[in-house]
Amino acid sequence: MVAVHEKEITHRSATAEGKIKFSNRDSIKLIISNSNKKGDVLSIARIAGIMAVKKTAELVPLCHPIAITGITVDLALNEQENHISVQCTVQCDGKTGVEMEALTGTTVTLLTVYDMCKAVDKLMEIDGCQVVKKSGGKSGDWEISGR
The b/e string for 53-75 (b: 16+ C-beta within 10 A; e otherwise) is bbebeeeeeebbebebeebbbeb
| Annotated catalytic residue 40 | no
What are phi and psi for residue 99, nearest 5 degrees? -60, -45
C-alpha torsion angle, residues 81, 147, 108, 38 (rounded to 10): -40
Question: 93, 115, 127, 141: which one is catalytic?
Answer: 115
Q: Which residues are known catalytic residues?
A: 115
